[in-house]
Amino acid sequence: MTREQFISHVEATQKAFRRFLVALCCGDTSLADDIAQESYIKAYLSCDTFSNLDKFNAWIFKIGYNTFINNKRGERLTVGIDDAKDITAHDSADSSFAYQDLYEALNRIPAKERTSVLLFYMQGYSIKEIAEIQETSQNAVKQHLSRGRTHLRGLLSIN
């Protein structure tokens, strides 16, 4: 894949990808953009060996998910309560308070359930495709979806 072809694929996919990452990062657009940038760079480094252009989207989502998980593993930071009072609000967080409840609800469910729900309902991927993206079994994805729905139903009062 040439750089021009790669950029053309990125331009076609970046909006949906970043939208997914913002939800995955529970409204932190700055973090979502960082993960998106990192994911596209990783994809570019491997694009010579990637031949199935029809699956470019799913491939990017897989890289993005793994990058998000690695990022989560790296950020086990805690601050003392006295230091916490000096922390100011992240002004790069989604300033639209319309989604605040959704972000809070998503933040309260485990990352795997959150990812499965977003890939299924937001991106329209099938169970099989989600299993490939998350590198897990289809049964596991079904469980994540079921639990994620149950949790979100309670948190968002969806009847």
Partner 1 sequence: MEDDKFKSLFSNFEPELSSDFRFMNKLQRNLNSVELVKQHIAEVRSRSKKAVLIAVIVGFIVGFLFSLSLPYLIDAVSNWQLTLPSESILNTFAKNFTIIAWLVIGGTSVFAAINTYEISFSLLKPKETSAY
Q: From the CB of 129, what's the least distance to partner 1, in Å?
A: 16
Give me the residues paired with residue 70 across strands.
Answer: none
* Side-chain half-sphere CA neighbours of 6 within 13 A: 18
Find the DSSP H helices in the chain: 3-24, 29-46, 56-74, 81-84, 100-107, 111-117, 127-134, 138-156
Q: From the CB of 31, what's the least distance to partner 1, in Å?
A: 12
Q: From the CB of 92, what's the least distance to partner 1, in Å?
A: 8
Read off the amino acid at residue 142.
Answer: K
Distance CA 30, CA 48 (A): 29
Residue (51 or 96) nearer to partner 1, CB: 96
Residues that bind partner 1 (CB under 8 A): 3, 7, 10-11, 14-15, 18-19, 22-23, 27, 29, 33, 36-37, 40-41, 44-45, 94-96, 99, 102, 117-118, 121-122, 149, 152-153, 156, 158
Residue (79 or 101) nearer to partner 1, CB: 101
